[in-house]
Amino acid sequence: MAQRAQRLLETARKPLPEGTFAVGGGLLILGLTAYGFQIISFRALSKSDYTALNGLWVLLFVVAPGVFLPLEQEVGRALAHRRAIGIGGGPLVKRAALLGAILTGSLVVVSLIAGGPLTDRLFHGQTALLACFAIALAAYAVEHLTRGTLSGNGRFGPYGLLLGAEGLVRLGPSVALWVAGVDDPFYYGLALAIPPLIASAIAVFGQRGLLAPGPEAPYSELSSRLGYLLLGSVLAQTLGYAAFLGASVLATTESERDAVADFIVGFFLARIPILLFQAVQAALLPKLAGLAGAGRHDEFIVGLRRLVAVVVGIGAIGVVAGFTVGPWAGSILFGEKFTLGHRDLALLAAGSGAFILALTLAQALIALMGHARAAVAWGFGILGFVVVTALGDDLFLRVELGFLAGSVIAAISTGAFLLQRIRAGVPDSVTPLVEAIEHEPLEI
């Protein structure tokens, strides 16, 4: 019996690419500590200041992954290709670093130009949070470049360490600030902005050969599709946080802005199923990629259907949990200040579930070289959010329904484009899919 169990365990582990568990563990720690940071800051700050801090959070996690995640993906892909043919990737990383610096500088300039509206609408007059945003942009540019360099060199252990370290380095100072009675959102903003730099240093400490010498790298080596990746990534992140952005922009009175704090908490509670999905997708997606890479196209399609079923199931669990125990869980985790109701949490959970489905299908579509179609699908989703939100008048209900509608539209559009690509014939070699899954976890 023990030998049989051991064989089953080895069979289950064998199809998984190198680093699956290291990256999955890092993602889990990063997700859990993100909730810890939210709980601590909600308890430490006034509702107005907590809303301002999350204006920084949302703006940062729309812009930084939207702009720098595609760069990370392309660095990882190009480095992996160089490693496979035995040439060093140092010049490629340096070229990507220059491009990252240009993107960062441009974003900082744009944010300074738009500083007035950003401070008024998202930061609730907290000008210091604009400085935190500029610092965080530089920090995340470094982190994503580091992540791409590590994954492209096959250093998945340090990659997972980086993810986990970022979350822990963020949570530790925020706990210390709370215990010390600090209630200035600027210091919590610094706790959000600086950890990517520290985590990157921790991850590369002791690593050798990451920048091996090799031939010069033209910009075209990073990908002729980088523009589509950037556009699709920014649109996806925007839709993912559209409910919060919509509520923040539409809240006009002081009481409404304070109420947005409860909405933010509910929004993060509704995204808890994402943690569950990240745990299962690390095992499911690599096996799906293996089927496609082996030319077993019928099994690939069956596996894709099963993955969609898992995503839909997780989304359904989230909706039921949000409607039944969501308010109770919110009051336990965030204290008596939390007042969001059953309907709000259920709708936010439904929108999050549909968004996860759209993101899953988009990853497969991009892997089958459907970059432009994926960007179009996300654009349809945002258009759906804007239209549905504009038709309502209740502050929270209109953005909740808009988020749900936009996510459903994005999922349907992406699914239709993906089905079209599959019917045209899955390529004999879907190496991009394998690389996307092995080198880049599905991150939300």
Instruction: Indicate if 135 and 171 belong to the same structural domain.
Output: yes
- Please give the average pLDDT of every successive group of 10 residues along the chain, which has 444 residues: 48 50 80 89 90 90 86 81 82 90 94 89 89 96 93 86 94 95 95 96 90 77 68 87 87 78 81 64 54 63 74 80 76 69 85 87 74 90 95 88 95 90 62 45 45
User: What is the Cα Rg of the chain in Å?
Assistant: 21
**What angle (nearest 5°) sits at the alpha carbon of residue 60, between those of residues 58 and 64?**
130
Instruction: Indicate if 214 and 241 belong to the same structural domain.
Output: no
pTM: 0.79
Instruction: Indicate if 195 and 246 belong to the same structural domain.
Output: no
Q: What is the pLDDT of residue 362?
A: 83
Contact 191, 208 (CB under 8 A): no
Tokens coding 146: 């580091």
Amino acid at 23: V
- What span, in angstroms and rounded, lies between the C-alpha atoms of 64 and 141? 7
Q: What is the pLDDT of residue 174?
A: 96
Instruction: Indicate if 95 and 144 belong to the same structural domain.
Output: yes
Instruction: Indicate if 344 and 240 belong to the same structural domain.
Output: yes
Q: Does some domain include residue 91?
A: yes
Query: What's the gap between Cα 11 and its chain centre?
Result: 30
- What span, in angstroms and rounded, lies between the C-alpha atoms of 90 and 86? 13
Q: What is the pLDDT of residue 435?
A: 47
Contact 368, 235 (CB under 8 A): no
Asked which of 173, 189, 224 is the last residue of a domain, the reply is 224
Q: What is the pLDDT of residue 185?
A: 95
Contact 267, 383 (CB under 8 A): no
Q: What is the pLDDT of residue 349?
A: 87
- What span, in angstroms and rounded, lies between the C-alpha atoms of 59 and 189? 12
Domain range enclosing 332? 227-444
Instruction: Indicate if 232 and 210 belong to the same structural domain.
Output: no
What CA–CA distances, in Å, run from 233 to 38, 65, 78, 174, 175? 24, 7, 19, 29, 32
Residue written as token pair 């196209």: 297
Q: Does some domain include residue 41?
A: yes
Instruction: Indicate if 242 and 155 belong to the same structural domain.
Output: no
- What span, in angstroms and rounded, lies between the C-alpha atoms of 203 and 72? 15
The structural domain count of the chain equals 2
Instruction: Indicate if 418 and 333 belong to the same structural domain.
Output: yes
Using alpha carbons, select from 195, 241, 205 the residue that is nearest to residue 30: 195
Q: What is the pLDDT of residue 274?
A: 66
Instruction: Indicate if 288 and 366 belong to the same structural domain.
Output: yes
How many other CB atoms are found less than 10 A from the CB of residue 162? 25
- What span, in angstroms and rounded, lies between the C-alpha atoms of 196 and 307? 31
Q: Does some domain include residue 262?
A: yes
How many other CB atoms are found less than 10 A from the CB of residue 269? 26
Asked which of 202, 224, 246 is the last residue of a domain, the reply is 224
Q: What is the DSSP letter of 220?
A: G
Residue 340 falls in which region: left (phi positive, over 0), alpha (psi -120 to 50) or beta: beta
**What angle (nearest 5°) sits at the alpha carbon of residue 23, between those of residues 18 and 24?**
110
Q: Does some domain include residue 56?
A: yes
Q: What is the DSSP letter of 17?
A: P
Instruction: Indicate if 244 and 216 belong to the same structural domain.
Output: no
Q: Does some domain include residue 3?
A: no
Q: What is the DSSP letter of 132?
A: H
Using alpha carbons, select from 101, 181, 175 the residue that is nearest to residue 137: 101
Q: Does some domain include residue 2?
A: no
Q: What is the pLDDT of residue 391?
A: 92
Asked which of 172, 204, 224 is the last residue of a domain, the reply is 224
- What span, in angstroms and rounded, lies between the C-alpha atoms of 283 and 377? 26
Q: Does some domain include residue 393?
A: yes
Instruction: Indicate if 146 and 271 belong to the same structural domain.
Output: no
Burial of 104 (0-12, 13-18, 19+ CB in 10 A): buried
Contact 152, 79 (CB under 8 A): yes
Q: Does some domain include residue 37?
A: yes
Instruction: Indicate if 271 and 178 belong to the same structural domain.
Output: no
